[in-house]
Chain A
Amino acid sequence: MGPANETELAELIRGANGPLDLRGGGTRVAWRPVRGEVVSTAGLSGVHLYEPGALTLVVGAGTPVAEVERVLAEKGQRLAFEPMDARKLMGTDGVPTIGGLIAANVSGPRRVQAGAARDVLLGVRFVDGAGQVVKNGGRVMKNVTGYDLVKLMAGSFGTLGVLTEVALKVMAVPQAEATLVARGLGTAEALTTLRAALATPFDVSGAAHAGFGGGETLLRVEGMAGSVAYRAERLRAGLCAGWDLVEGAESAALWRAVRDVAALAGSGEAVWRISTVPGRAAGLTAALAAGGLGHRALYDWGGGLIWLGVPAEGDGGAAAIRAAVQAAGGHATLVRAPEAIHDRVPMFQPQAAGIERLAAGLRARFDPKGILNPGLMGGRTREVAA
């Protein structure tokens, strides 16, 4: 179903008694533990307010990301968190929406410098599981009026409510960008250099390494032209001696590939997204390999984000990966897998009992009928849900 506006969506949810499968463009999370009636927010589209001089954009949650980017580009601005386009990796073909991005808290390589999707989310309107329209936050940069449900909604994957409108802080597109490129570095050495670069005052806005296929290591700086040249030079004079320099469109293309995890697109592997302590990333993947897990790893955020492609068999590496991540600190999300694996592996890393109790309590309060993407978060599998 595709409600045309917030009121229709609220009526629909008030009247619903069975599970709902809530979607923006349906490009990111293909799997659901409980099959439900599909509800698309694509009808809730449109720019409600745009003030370039205040860096503020308010849009309907169903607005296509491409439309948001087009509107911003006209004024030389953009979404600073560099959201990935998941379609190639996931093999999906819908139209990505801004609400879907926010519901999944999708952040790309610039996360290390500009923050996550949740960090630029200023306000939300949503329909909760009882069909009530709730607002929180606003459209100003600083707002501590009451509880920050804005953050809670980001990354809640529709389980606490269906976003209808989001207010975002946007940023200017900088004059220039440059990327330093090294080839053939070992993972440990590459990540050590990336971390060291992130600890310089040179405002690095991208730090990625491919652990396979000839392994490029990338460092990006952005800003005013003179400043970019200066910082790239300082890095090449020190940490990155001998690295190549790539600028402009060529640099941007490198980062689109990192952002969209292009190197794992189209393969038959199961794909994991791991958030961990950057300095423990190399050890984590090495231990998994030593334990017999064949994998291909891409590293972003200086090692803080690992994309892991593993053979799509058995549990897709779930037991080994989740145990290793638990030990190192962080969490692992099963992003892409055949149904057979998805059905027996919870998508999100199981959490400590006390935390899961709070999360379950929140879901029960915001979705008393248990109909909003039921079971998607909270460690359930289809086997358990069925």
Chain B
Amino acid sequence: MQMPAPDPHVLARKPELVARLRAVLPRDAVIDDPAETRAYECDALTAYRCPPLCAVLPASTAEVAAVLEICHAMDVPVVPRGSGTSLAGGALPTGDCVILGVARMNAVLETDYDNRFIRVQTGRTNLSVTGAVEAEGFFYAPDPSSQLACAIAGNIAMNSGGAHCLKYGVTTNNLMGVTMVTMAGEVLEIGGPWMDPGGLDLLGVICGSEGQLGVVTEAVLRILPKPEGARPVLMGFASNEVAGACVRDIIEAGVLPVAIEFMDRPCIRATEAFAGAGYPDCEALLIVEVEGSDDEIAEQLEVILAIARRHDPVALRESRSADESARIWLGRKSAFGAMGQINDYMCLDGTIPVSALPEVLHRIGEMSKHYGLEVANVFHAGDGNMHPLILFDANRPGDLETCEAMGAEILKLCVEVGGCLTGEHGVGIEKRDLMNVQYDPVDLEAQMAVKDVFDPKWLLNPAKVFPLGASAGRREGSRAAQ
């Protein structure tokens, strides 16, 4: 993975930069000792590492503005960082950048149950947003797997999803407003606790812009009343095709489960060995969860189970208690941990039209044979968001490269069948150079034009999202101006 060479002019001015940052931040909020900056050398895409020039940990919007103003004046690239859980390298530093971590900004600023919103600083973790409102019977809907650790800042940057977005949508559908600092240090209030923007939907394009348009320091999030109850049902099928057809029929029947999760045989076996959730040994497994009162759940499950029975399930297990529900979810929730136990793995994130599922799984199987690497599939079937896990051995020379080549081919396949490169993890550096597969140059130009407007010098997280070749002129333009 190629990253731009650090700018020698910036490296040479490190002492001046650090002095100016120290003048506006508390002493312990500027980290420049190479032994300590190492802590920020990567995110959850650990195959790539590079310590930053320095890291700052501002505690307020005003401090963020002060930092950005300095970096803007000195033409220093800034890489914003939430909790560093990006699987796409969204927070990977370059050697000449300042890492701007929002971890110290984790306060709840306002909760308003009457108007159903919460305003938080964006360093707050996803799960602790729900934690702040659940005593009153509310929750924050987007639930990425990393929700215990991941920050709202990163959720907004990547427009994170989760298992329950079939019903509740992703971050952009639950974000009402932000306080954002531009690269030039200007503080903007965009949106608020009301519906829809009064002009262009800037909030809509900021969400998912991977920290390239501004640093979001505060967010107004929609909170929802918790459903009365939820219950999963587990179904095993003899083939991926049949499981795919069952998903289609459930959706077509007009029932809207909150989640439909899919696991294939390699994934079932691995998680079973790891977690012992008692899953049936079958080709494909679905977990379908519905919500409501007991009677409402029963009403929905009656329809869903009738559909499942038409597809000759090899197993059909309805939860009858909280304990049984937990056991049904146990394997799914341990899937990534189970894979990590056996092997190194690369987790992909393409989305496909649900109808293409059998074909895509079949072709992934063929690629697996061709490349000699095993693949386990676990994914959000209701919305077509796949998570193929390619297993490899990081200690075997060439394995990572083979794995990356196969990953690229799978993502190209997702685009070919009408889907996209990434459903919820983001482009980062991981899929940056595949953007040309999904978009023509004119499409990428339109996206880059947005960054030109928000960050004319291209200093915010500049080497991400767009193929390096496509963004080179813009990134180097700001340096040439020096």
Contact = CB atoms under 8 A, between A and B. Distances in A.
Counting chain B CB atoms within 10 Å of each CB, which of A160, A329, A363 scores highest? A329
A319 interface: no
Contacts of A140: 351-353, 383-385, 418-420, 423
A234 B389 CA distance: 45
Contacts of A146: 427, 435, 438-439, 443-444, 447, 465-466
Nearest to B186: A354
A239 B426 CA distance: 43
B116 A142 contact: no
Interface size grouping (class) on chain A: 35 or more
Contacts of B195: 111, 116, 275, 301, 304-305
B98 interface: no
Interface in B245-275: 248-249, 251-256
B115 interface: yes
A249 interface: no
B449 interface: yes
Counting chain A CB atoms within 10 Å of each CB, which of B225, B352, B421, B450 scores highest? B450
Interface stretch (B231-239, B294-302, B330-338): B294-302
Interface string B439-467: 11011101101111110000000000110
B447 A331 contact: no
Contact of A201 (B207, B228, B452, B454): B228
Contact of B248 (A53, A115, A133): A53
A56 interface: yes
Contacts of B256: 171-172
B419 A138 contact: yes
A316 to B, nearest CB: 17
B159 to A, nearest CB: 5
B383 A142 contact: yes
B444 A329 contact: no
Contacts of A136: 443, 446-447
Interface in B376-398: 380, 382-385
Contact of B204 (A118, A227, A304, A366): A118
A148 interface: yes
A116 B195 CA distance: 9
B188 A147 contact: no
A144 B431 CA distance: 11
Nearest to A125: B443
B17 to A, nearest CB: 26
Interface string A331-371: 10100000000000000110110111011011101100000
A227 B159 CA distance: 32
Contact of A143 (B116, B190, B423, B444): B423
Interface in B150-176: 158-159, 161, 165-166, 169-170, 172-173
Counting chain B CB atoms within 10 Å of each CB, which of A143, A279, A349 scores highest? A143
B424 interface: yes
Nearest to B157: A144
Contacts of A330: 192, 194, 198
B124 interface: no
Interface in B111-139: 112-116, 137-138
Contact of B295 (A159, A226, A359): A226
Given A138-B418, A144-B159, A224 B299 contact: yes
Counting chain A CB atoms within 10 Å of each CB, which of B166, B193, B198, B431 scores highest? B198
B443 A134 contact: yes
Contacts of B438: 138, 145-146
Given A144-B426, A304-B195, A54 B115 contact: no
B252 A148 contact: no
A53 B246 CA distance: 10
A77 B435 CA distance: 33
A140 B453 CA distance: 28
Contact of B449 (A55, A116, A278, A365): A365
A55 B166 CA distance: 11
A30 interface: no
Counting chain B CB atoms within 10 Å of each CB, which of A141, A144, A301, A329 scores highest? A144
B12 interface: no
Interface in A132-164: 132-136, 138-152, 154-156, 159-160
Contact of B380 (A56, A133, A142, A277): A142
B55 interface: no
A199 B114 contact: yes
Contacts of A75: 252
B194 A275 contact: yes
B115 A278 contact: yes
A175 to B, nearest CB: 8
A53 B252 contact: yes
Interface in B276-303: 292-293, 295-296, 299-300, 303
A128 interface: yes
B455 to A, nearest CB: 11
B183 to A, nearest CB: 12
Contacts of A333: 198
B225 A199 contact: yes
B443 A152 contact: no
B6 interface: no
A56 to B, nearest CB: 7
A9 to B, nearest CB: 15
Contacts of A93: none
A136 B192 CA distance: 26
A206 to B, nearest CB: 14
Given A142-B165, A230-B293, A301-B195, A52 B252 contact: yes
Interface in A161-178: 171-175
A200 B114 CA distance: 11
A276 interface: yes
B198 A351 contact: yes
A230 B296 contact: yes
B188 A145 contact: no
Given A144-B425, A359-B199, 14 more contacts: A54-B355, A115-B173, A134-B446, A140-B420, A144-B159, A144-B161, A151-B201, A152-B201, A201-B137, A201-B225, A230-B296, A348-B198, A351-B198, A362-B450
28 contacts: A51-B354, A54-B251, A105-B196, A107-B196, A134-B446, A138-B419, A140-B385, A141-B165, A141-B166, A142-B384, A145-B420, A146-B443, A147-B450, A148-B159, A151-B172, A152-B450, A155-B197, A159-B200, A160-B200, A195-B114, A199-B116, A201-B228, A277-B192, A278-B114, A351-B198, A359-B202, A365-B452, A366-B449
